[in-house]
Amino acid sequence: MAIRPAEQLIHKAAWLYYAHGLRQDEVANLLKISRASVAMYLRKARETGIVNISTSTQLFTDDVMAREVEDAFKLDAVWIAPENAYVADPSTDIAVLAASVFLELVKKGDRIGVAWGRTVYTIADIMSYADLQDVTVVQLCGNLGAPYSYRPDQCTMEIARRLNARGLNFYAPLVLSTEALAQGLRAEPVIRDQLAGISDCDLALYSVGAVDADSHLVKCGALTPAEMEALRKEGAAGVIAGQIIDASGEALDCSYNRRVISAELASLRAIGKRLMVVQEDTKFEPLLAAIAGGLCTHLVIGAHMAERLLQQAGAASKKAS
Amino acid sequence: MAIRPAEQLIHKAAWLYYAHGLRQDEVANLLKISRASVAMYLRKARETGIVNISTSTQLFTDDVMAREVEDAFKLDAVWIAPENAYVADPSTDIAVLAASVFLELVKKGDRIGVAWGRTVYTIADIMSYADLQDVTVVQLCGNLGAPYSYRPDQCTMEIARRLNARGLNFYAPLVLSTEALAQGLRAEPVIRDQLAGISDCDLALYSVGAVDADSHLVKCGALTPAEMEALRKEGAAGVIAGQIIDASGEALDCSYNRRVISAELASLRAIGKRLMVVQEDTKFEPLLAAIAGGLCTHLVIGAHMAERLLQQAGAASKKAS
DNA sequence: CACGGCTCTCGACAAAAGTCAAATCAGGAA
DNA sequence: TTCCTGATTTGACTTTTGTCGAGAGCCGTG
């Protein structure tokens, strides 16, 4: 990013206003510009992440329920968005929380893996800007050809843009028509390197998909509704980074999975912090599968989903005893 | 800190306002309280660090001069406060910058060593609040009996308070009247443990003192002006955490140093990030000594001091060639 | 049970910040 | 040079926010 003459001014204005606590008109006088300009600069400063306004997400982890979920499923940290109220759209609430949590987890110099989906894109879309240095955002799975508004590469790039980070895209389709072609492509140096680099990530951000006709895999034409239904009968429980997993969180042994170009589940598990965000209550089974497979260490969910998880955990422990 | 009933409300208000971007009256409606209360809550939220507003300190490192100082003295990072203008009091400017830098360097779970002095106390005083978890602030040196407004323990506790962290004080005088007593006290388990724990710190914050009659050591009665003058003749170049160092940054071999209860210089050097802040231009020699002794990796200074450092470096390299 | 003393809350006003159309400026093309 | 284009800046206006004193609720005490 070239140093535009205004950049310096924006920074100074932000510094005087936010760090020194001067009023806008005082800043305007010092910098010899009009107050209106100062107001404009400050907006830009916020938009570009020169100033960071973050609210502690404590409240959502402090919750008793969050602790219970943590303990029941052996997760590192759980955030629960209260669904009872306040905001019009409850799923937005989860995304806003997820964005805050995500920004709290990211550190300078980190390498971040990002998958794709409506949830991830929503998070990217509402996430505030930050001025992280030396951050790399890598795409965890191949692209879907479909002209969707939240394609894997778009999720990656949008998040990279917000963080002022490098974005590394995956120049391969998510799913190919033959296993041989997929194998060949995975062996391609460019692709191979990127796949190998995934386990070096410090942080992963993804959601889990449902195995039904609403899945993006179906909507984007990677699978027909009938195929999806067939996979479900074979034991498919969820979709992670474009791959089908079974109830134990392992990749399902099926033709589709063998034709996919995406991060190995083992690589994902090698990532220190795996942040999973689930908005829809219908994704209960997929989430259980993902947790069972050790695919998430940090979890952001709504209150309703948390309740169901605890019920499940209660039932399981009762059965065990 | 007990969970007061309002705490929850403050948090919710802050969340809706800052994270969701609602207006104060919207928040007031949702929470069924008056807008005035919302405004009050939000102020409290800022004061307690529930929301964090931080400005990137990029600008001050991006500076060409800062890079030159970094290279010339092999420091990890240097921030230079422009002295030309803007704010009434230039030394405040350095402290504000230092506080921002400090907050940027602190991470969750860190252990932080804090020394004492006017500079450190000024920083503590203007530092904004933060809600760090699991942070411990330890005092690097013994206390001065003098009823000074910035005693070592006050610096430590104030910073701990601002960060919402634990504060570990040093229950010993900085300097004793005999070497034997000092040795005995250092061997005391309480003191010994604390001294031993200093090298485990992740971050240290201190300034360097001048060897003159204005020094706190003199003002607080630890040394007479005459003794100070004598020490200077013996090669004293600066004061770090209550100890006298020579021009090479090593502890001066003198009775005073042997009577001091403070962090060993070796322990200080074992700390990963050593943030030194120097406000006064007169502390040029002491700063050089501290740098020579490897007592700082991160440095916050004013523009004028930076110029002098670069001159010095230029002269030294010319002499060497 | 009434009484301070306390904190929390509210309404109204004053101050500050956000916004927008019009004016200005810089830089390039004719 | 002059004119045009697009971005930046400004003054005037509107909306939003901060603040203050008054009042309401709460609790322990006499």
The whole model's pTM is what?
A: 0.82
Q: Is the CB of B20 under 7 A from strand D?
A: no
Half-sphere exposure of A136 (CA within 13 A, CB side): 13
What does residue B111 show for φ and ψ, rounded to 5 degrees?
Answer: -120, 125
Q: Which residues of A touch B (CB under 8 A)?
A: 8, 11-12, 14-16, 18-20, 30, 45, 49-56, 58-59, 85-87, 93, 96-97, 100, 107, 131, 133
Q: Quick one: angle between helices A90-105 and A118-126, nearest 10?
A: 70
Of A152, A153, A145, nearest in space to A220 by CA: A145
Of A168, A180, A118, A159, nearest in space to A141 by CA: A168
Of A156, A149, A265, nearest in space to A205 by CA: A156
Query: Distance between alpha carbon A245 and the CA centroid of its chain, in Å?
Result: 18
Contacts of A13 in chain B (CB under 8 A): none
Position B274 scores a pLDDT of 96
B40 nearest nt, CA–C1': D18
What is residue B149's three-state secondary structure?
A: coil
- The whole-angstrom distance between B316's CA and the closest CA on chain A is 33
Q: Alpha-carbon distance B124 to B102, whole Å? A: 10
Provide the percentage of residues in chain B whose pLDDT is more than 70. 92
pLDDT tens digits for range B48-104: 888 888 888 877 776 788 889 999 999 999 999 887 655 556 667 889 899 999 998
pLDDT tens digits for range B264-308: 999 999 999 999 999 999 999 999 999 999 999 999 999 899 999
Q: Is the CB of B126 under 7 A from strand D?
A: no
Contacts of A103 in chain B (CB under 8 A): none
Rg of chain B over Cα atoms, rounded to whole angstroms, equals: 22
What is the secondary structure of B37-53 as a DSSP string? HHHHHHHHHHHHTSEEE
Low-confidence ranges of chain A (pLDDT < 50): 1-5
Considering only residues 36-55 of protein chain A, which place a Cβ less than 7 A from any atom of strand C? 36, 39-40, 42-43
What does DSSP assign to residue B127?
A: P
Of B85, B112, B153, B78, nearest in space to B307 by CA: B78
Q: Alpha-carbon distance B60 to B67, whole Å? A: 10
Q: Alpha-carbon distance A30 to A27, whole Å? A: 5
Q: Is the CB of A34 under 7 A from strand D?
A: yes
- The whole-angstrom distance between B183's CA and the closest CA on chain A is 43
Q: Alpha-carbon distance B57 to A70, whole Å? A: 36
Position A317 scores a pLDDT of 67
Contacts of A15 in chain B (CB under 8 A): 55, 59
The protein footprint on chain C, as nucleotides within 7 A of a CB, is: 8-12, 16-20
pLDDT at residue B1 greater than cutoff 60: no
CA distance to A89, A227, B180, B258, B265, per residue, from B177 (Å)? 69, 86, 9, 10, 21
How many Å apart are A139 CA and C21 C1'?
A: 44
- In residues, how long is chain B? 321
> Mutation test of the interface with chain A: which of B4, B44, B86, B122, choosing the one with the most A Cβ atoms within 10 A?
B86
Contact B56 A56 (CB under 8 A): no
Q: How many CB pairs under 8 A join A and B?
A: 83
Query: Where does the pLDDT of residue B4 fall: very low under 50, low under 70, confident under 90, or very high at 90 and above?
Result: very low
pLDDT tens digits for range B180-224: 999 998 988 888 888 999 999 999 999 999 998 888 888 888 889
Phi-psi region of A109 (alpha: psi -120 to 50; beta: other; left: phi over 0): left
Q: Alpha-carbon distance B215 to B209, whole Å? A: 6
Q: How many CB atoms lie within 10 A of CB A88?
A: 6
Query: Distance between alpha carbon B316 and the CA centroid of its chain, in Å?
Result: 29
First and final C-alpha spacing in chain B: 61
By the 8 A CB rule, do B261 and B176 touch? Answer: yes
Considering only residues 153-192 of protein chain B, which place a Cβ less than 7 A from any atom of strand D? none
Q: Output A306-310 pairs: Cβ under 8 A, ≥24 positions apart.
A: A306/A65, A306/A66, A306/A69, A306/A78, A306/A80, A307/A65, A308/A281, A308/A284, A309/A69, A309/A72, A309/A73, A309/A284, A310/A65, A310/A68, A310/A69, A310/A72
By the 8 A CB rule, do B45 and B286 touch? Answer: no
Chain A's closest residue to B18, CA to CA, is: A55
pLDDT tens digits for range B11-42: 888 888 898 888 888 888 888 888 888 888 88
By the 8 A CB rule, do B31 and B13 touch? Answer: yes
Q: Alpha-carbon distance A285 to A45, whole Å? A: 43
A35 nearest nt, CA–C1': D10
- In residues, how long is chain A? 321
* CB nearest A51 (choices: B18, B55, B107): B55
Q: What angle do CA B23, B24, B27 make, to 5 degrees?
A: 90
Pairing of the two strands B77-81 and B298-302: parallel
pLDDT tens digits for range B146-178: 656 678 888 888 899 888 888 888 888 888 889
Q: Alpha-carbon distance A204 to A138, whole Å? A: 9
Report residue A273 as tokens.
């912090």
Q: Is the CB of B226 under 7 A from strand C?
A: no
Half-sphere exposure of A195 (CA within 13 A, CB side): 22
Position B145 scores a pLDDT of 64
Considering only residues 25-44 of protein chain B, which place a Cβ less than 7 A from any atom of strand C? 33-37, 40
Q: Is the CB of B30 under 7 A from strand D?
A: no
Contacts of A102 in chain B (CB under 8 A): none
